[in-house]
Amino acid sequence: MKSILYIGNKLQNKRSNVSTIHTLGTLLESENYTVYYASSKANKVLRLLDMVFTFFKYKTKVDYVLIDTYSTQNFYFALVISQLCRLFNVKYIPNLNGGDLPMRLEKNPILCSWIFKNAYIKISPSQYLIDAFKNFGYKNVIYIPNTIVINNYEFRERDFTSIKLLWVRSFSEIYNSKLAIRVLKKLKEDNIDASLCMVGPDSDGSLSKVKKFAKKQKVTVNFTGKLSKKKWTNLSKDYNIFINTTNFDNAPVSVIEAMALGLPIVSTNVGGIPFLIANKKEGILVEQNNTEAMVNAIKSIYNNNELAKLLTINARRKVEQFDWQEVKKLWFEILK
């Protein structure tokens, strides 16, 4: 069986959620692949150094280097490791996770060409990024969706005697968490019985700002902090609508998980989201940062049980295609 060096942010602290490297790496190991990892270092300089050290340690032992590639500062980790792979003739595969990677392609064309033109193959979890890369002349981008183990997610019908909103993401500026507060405030102003639970770690200092904003808006929000996947999916039983407020996105696993759990989705219509969710069929998509539009979408679900059932059944059917038993076949083809 093949050996893989998986480069990504394998952090395990209060400031980070479980990422692709945790889930995909574990699933590949379960299929008897040998997987080495870098890095779990919290400090970004130490993380990069650890990635470089690990590359030199295993470069002659692995068949591929799989690199989680983001659009933020972590983009430069992919840049460094990809160039080492080129130098030492090791096949590398960028796993395109950054929702704002099209911005990188536009603003840093030379650096992007160094990474992507010489890759063995490029993996995208959404058609959104495949289209974006094609627009910049990149071929050999293969669609493999983010994966879940569907049997771990119990589909439940929801009670709609009140509105119980659930938000699951890390607190970061790009995820526009204040929009959730504004939505709750507007629902309250409309005399609707509504509550909001926000689950996730503080990624960039946004959590304290959101808490202050909620206090200023005089709304009560349940901030749980970071929860394990098992804990938040269990918590989700008490909620009936999942909201995704982000300004940039690709194919977020938390949204896929919510679809699997039977939570109707209301999301901003950005990045890869419309490729994941068909509007008014598998969820409702609204304009970015539009409080009124998100409130109206939530009300339409709250006031129409048949719509809620339609959205959740279709969404569950959609994400059943993302089950590991199906997705692993695509990985096997790439890693053969």
**DSSP per residue over 30-96, as a string?**
HTT-EEEEE---SSHHHHHHHHHHHHHHHTTT-SEEEEEE-SSTTHHHHHHHHHHHHHTT--EEEEE
The answer to whether residue 165 scores a pLDDT higher than 60 is yes
Amino acid 1: pLDDT: 77
Range of weakest confidence among 10-19, 66-75, 152-161, 227-236? 10-19
**DSSP per residue over 86-111, as a string?**
HHTT--EEEEE--TTHHHHHHH-HHH
For range 266-273, the mean pLDDT = 96
**Of the candidates 148, 152, 157, 155, the residue with the CA atom closest to the CA atom of residue 321:** 148
The answer to whether residue 143 scores a pLDDT higher than 70 is yes
Amino acid 299: pLDDT: 98
State the fold for domain 3-143.
Rossmann fold (3.40.50)
Amino acid 210: pLDDT: 97
- What percentage of the chain reaches a pLDDT higher than 70? 98
Amino acid 18: pLDDT: 66
State the fold for domain 150-321.
Rossmann fold (3.40.50)
**98-122 tens-digit pLDDT:** 888 999 999 999 999 999 999 999 9
Q: What is the reported pTM? A: 0.92
Amino acid 133: pLDDT: 96
Amino acid 20: pLDDT: 84
Query: What average pLDDT does the structure give for the chain?
Result: 94
Kindly list the domain boundaries of the chain, sorted by start residue. 3-143, 150-321
For range 277-290, the mean pLDDT = 97
Cα 225 to chain centroid distance, Å, stands at 17
The answer to whether residue 207 scores a pLDDT higher than 90 is yes
Amino acid 235: pLDDT: 96
What CA–CA distance (Å, rounded) separates 295 from 182?
9
Given the DSSP bridges, would you call strands 194-199 and 241-244 parallel, antiparallel or unpaired?
unpaired
Structure tokens at 203: 């990624």
Amino acid 151: pLDDT: 95
Amino acid 17: pLDDT: 62
For residue 214, what pLDDT band results from cuts at 50, 70 and 90? Answer: very high
Amino acid 15: pLDDT: 58
